[in-house]
Amino acid sequence: MDAITFPNGQITMAGNLYVPEDLDRTQRHAAIVVVHPGGGVKEQAAGLYASKLAEQGFVSLAFDASYQGDSGGEPHHLEDPYARVEDVRAAVDFMQSLDYVDPERIGTLGICAGAGYSVNAAMTDYRIKALTTVSAVNIGTNFRRGWYGTDSDAAAVPTLKAVAQQRTAEASQGAEPTYIPYVPAEPDENTPRDLVEAGDYYLTPRAQHPNAKNKLLFTKSVSRIFTFDAFHMVEDLLIQPLLVVAGSEAGSLWMSTELHGRARTTKQLQIVEGGTHMDFYDIPKYVDQAIAAATPFFTEHLTATADQG
């Protein structure tokens, strides 16, 4: 694994590049850009998947989102969906700059919100030739409608009113910026199982990392997130092959099945029995099944003769 940086406009991005053992750098190889979940960093699930994809022969990159982790951008702890989609495009730029990467054989694998971002990027960047989603989340729809998708979009209005009040306080009253957690630090009986497990992942020695502080800048993040729809126009603009992987017990499963149902491209749906949303972050039984599905999928579609139009 090599620590690398690459430009994204005026922001310097930080990533970890994984290459197969005994890589022949005189040849050009298929490559995968791995996109981390909201609140995550490259050293967590994204790095795990990138390392395992490298073991399968793919040059793989895990990177910190702009405004997060070791990447640049101020204010930090900003979750800007539009910036995160641009991050994916910048990561593809970087991969295409490598002499040993075939610029026509680049795919993406996104996890949780990173899956939604990678889908959105692929719809407007056909340099991405194939994509896999794992425990996919459409972050804007999820924030508006709740973890299970049972609320209406109008349920977002009270939160947006709170954003407006806080922004006024910061702009005219000198209030300090407010941060909210990505995952509940103290879950209760009403907390969805997946989010309880998310706290166990992010906030305990299981996977906690000093760069993943469970902090989301309230005013500037929420107003951007609530109007974002990662799957908007997916029926017409997503033309690349798509593999959707999710657990049968995940509360987020509805977002994976919605994506698969709406996409009109060549597509596969892999529902893993018994898996929850968070199981695919680091539980070997589930991560290995995701990799086992992604490896032949990418091998088939990231070929030297791949042509997505």
- What pairs with residue 106 in β-bridges? 31, 128
- Supply the pLDDT for residue 157: 96
> Are 31 and 201 a contacting pair, CB within 8 Å?
no
Confidence check: pLDDT of 130 > 90: yes
Q: If you average pLDDT over residues 98-102, what whole number do you get? A: 98
Cα 50–63–61 angle (5° rounding)? Answer: 35
**Residue 202 DSSP SS3:** helix
- Supply the pLDDT for residue 185: 87
Q: If you average pLDDT over residues 214-237, what whole number do you get? A: 96
> Are 135 and 280 a contacting pair, CB within 8 Å?
yes
CA-to-CA dists, residue 65 to 48, 105, 280, angstroms: 16, 23, 20
Q: If you average pLDDT over residues 117-139, what whole number do you get? A: 98
Whole-angstrom distance, CA of residue 286 vs CA of residue 295: 14
Confidence check: pLDDT of 199 > 50: yes
Nearest Cα to Cα of residue 23 among 48, 60, 69? 60
Q: What's the token pair of residue 227?
A: 């109007």
- Supply the pLDDT for residue 231: 98
Q: In what order do the strands lie in the sheet with 11-18?
A: 2-8, 11-18, 59-63, 29-35, 101-111, 128-134, 242-247, 267-272
Confidence check: pLDDT of 20 > 80: yes
Peptide bond into 75 cis (omega under 30): yes
Confidence check: pLDDT of 81 > 70: yes
- Supply the pLDDT for residue 305: 58
% of the chain exceeding 70 in pLDDT: 98
Q: If you average pLDDT over residues 59-65, what whole number do you get? A: 98
Nearest Cα to Cα of residue 257 among 160, 171, 153, 135? 135
The amino acid sitting at 299 is: T
Confidence check: pLDDT of 309 > 80: no
- Supply the pLDDT for residue 303: 86
Alpha helices in the chain (DSSP H): 47-55, 81-97, 113-124, 139-145, 157-172, 193-202, 218-225, 234-237, 253-262, 279-282, 284-301
Full-model pTM? 0.95
- Supply the pLDDT for residue 245: 98
Q: What is the mean pLDDT of the chain?
A: 96
Whole-angstrom distance, CA of residue 148 vs CA of residue 58: 34
Q: If you average pLDDT over residues 188-200, what whole number do you get? A: 95
- 155-189: pLDDT as tens digits: 999 999 999 999 999 999 999 999 999 999 899 99
- Supply the pLDDT for residue 229: 97
Nearest Cα to Cα of residue 272 among 286, 292, 258? 286
